[in-house]
Copies of this chain bind each other. A is one copy, B any other.
Amino acid sequence: MKKHNFNAGPSILPQSTIENTAKAILDFDGIGLSIMEISHRSKEFQAVMDEATALFKELLAISEGYSVLFLGGGASMQFAMVPFNLFEKKAAYLNTGTWASKALKEAKLFGEVIEVASSKEANFNYIPKQYTIPSDADYFHITTNNTIFGTELHEDIDSPVPLVADMSSDIFSRPIDVSKYALIYGGAQKNLAPAGLAFVIVKDSVLGKVSRAIPTMLDYRTHIKEGSMFNTPPVVPVYAALQTLKWMKELGGISVLEKINKEKAALLYDEIDRNKLFKGTAAIEDRSLMNICFVMNDEYKSLEEEFGKFAAAKGLIGIKGHRSVGGFRASTYNALPKASVIALIDAMKEFEKAH
């Protein structure tokens, strides 16, 4: 049976990423060795790193003055690396969910943190819009897509201080204006690559301003200077990232993906709204294009488990909602085909008819 993979992350990747990575593990570029067994300093792997970095910049139209880094450790390590590199006296955070809260908590180890706004009181079902960013903050941190709660900031906001964004779960889902940001980071394991890799886009000029001594591996300047090769990089995830970047380029780039993502999300949200059994959990204007959260309407609550099984039997994988929200979450990342969304909608319709 065909599987429809709605996992929230690690999550579906393009078939070409999967196949080319498996191939390179057996024999990399016909050199008779696995990509896992060659030096990261070999010209073959250096070419992979260079091409991945260049294509990453090209797809997001990243201009001069910004560096793109591929690092180990995941997005959670960035929760600490950001303050190590940017926090001098005070930082401001927008609290829009579990990940934003974790990022904020980490920053508190470094000094005064201003939570400019939070939607915690409403179980993070919306993104606060009315808040003031302190003009004396070293930076302002946002989480553009809240993977767990299914809310998303659809615009690049303005900030009077350097803007830092966790884009773990919406990078490459829409064109962004990188020039509005000082730093963008994320775990690669949603729209880019398998787990074990983080990406960082950083404006070079914001670095070198803090007075602390930064441990070498936690200093972005180390990795900029060495082109993400200060130490042995996560070779397989970087190779897989390159395959996904190529796939995005072949598809026509990020604006094509945005169009498809909007279409997929609209189809599913429309069905959630129409279907008598279901309702969405996020404020309509903040609905995420990547993580679509929905629950059973109160009068059908008892059918929740049954729908879960019904969907699983149809090959719809990974739609159980995070325990913080309950119900269902369908992650509709770039690589998820429209056919999978339609399969889910068909299941929702069929289940409605039966009840």
Given contacts A76-B217, A80-B218, contact A33 B3 (CB under 8 A): yes
Given contacts A26-B18, A33-B5, contact A232 B40 (CB under 8 A): no
CB pair B196 A74 closer than 8 Å: no
Residues of A1-37 at the interface with B, using a CB-CB cut-off of 8 Å, are 1, 3, 5, 7-13, 17-19, 21-23, 25-26, 31-37
**Stretch in A177-185, A187-195, A337-345 touching the partner:** A187-195
CB pair B7 A37 closer than 8 Å: yes
Contact among B25, B40, B105 with A10 in the assembled complex (CB-CB below 8 Å): B40
Contact among B33, B39, B233, B317 with A33 in the assembled complex (CB-CB below 8 Å): B317
Chain B nearest CB, measured from A1 CB (Å): 7
Residues of A199-245 at the interface with B, using a CB-CB cut-off of 8 Å, are 213, 215-218, 230-237, 240
Contact among B10, B25, B102 with A18 in the assembled complex (CB-CB below 8 Å): B25
Chain B nearest CB, measured from A208 CB (Å): 16
The residues of B that contact A23 with a CB separation of less than 8 Å are: 22
Instruction: Check A114 for interface membership: any CB of B closer than 8 A.
Output: no
The residues of B that contact A73 with a CB separation of less than 8 Å are: 71-73, 77, 217
Given contacts A33-B317, A216-B79, contact A38 B21 (CB under 8 A): no
Copies of this subunit: 2
Given contacts A40-B10, A77-B73, contact A1 B32 (CB under 8 A): yes
CB pair B26 A22 closer than 8 Å: yes
Instruction: Check A330 for interface membership: any CB of B closer than 8 A.
Output: no
Interface string of A257-296 (1 = CB under 8 A from B): 0000000000000000000000000000000000000000
The residues of B that contact A19 with a CB separation of less than 8 Å are: 26
CB pair A39 B196 closer than 8 Å: no
Residues of A102-132 at the interface with B, using a CB-CB cut-off of 8 Å, are 102, 105-106, 109
Residue of B nearest to A102 (CB): B216
Q: How large is the interface on A (under 10, 10 to 19, 20 to 34, 35 or more residues)?
A: 35 or more
Instruction: Check A150 for interface membership: any CB of B closer than 8 A.
Output: no
Contact among B12, B26, B72, B76 with A216 in the assembled complex (CB-CB below 8 Å): B76
CB pair B72 A74 closer than 8 Å: yes
Residue of B nearest to A215 (CB): B80
Residue of B nearest to A198 (CB): B72
Given contacts A32-B3, A38-B7, A213-B109, contact A234 B196 (CB under 8 A): yes
Please name 8 further chain A to chain B contacts, defined as beta carbons within 8 Å, in addition to the given A11-B37, A79-B217, sorted by A numbering.
Answer: A13-B37, A72-B72, A76-B217, A102-B216, A106-B216, A109-B213, A195-B232, A195-B234
* Chain A interfacial positions (CB closer than 8 Å to B): 1, 3, 5, 7-13, 17-19, 21-23, 25-26, 31-40, 71-77, 79-80, 84, 102, 105-106, 109, 187, 189, 194-197, 213, 215-218, 230-237, 240, 317-318
Closest 10 pairs between A and B when the two form their complex, measured CB to CB: A196-B234, A36-B194, A80-B215, A76-B231, A72-B72, A72-B73, A22-B25, A195-B232, A73-B73, A22-B22
Selected A-B contacts with CB under 8 Å, 21 pairs: A1-B32, A3-B33, A9-B232, A11-B37, A18-B37, A21-B25, A22-B26, A35-B194, A36-B195, A71-B73, A72-B77, A72-B234, A75-B231, A84-B215, A187-B231, A189-B232, A194-B235, A195-B234, A195-B235, A196-B235, A197-B234
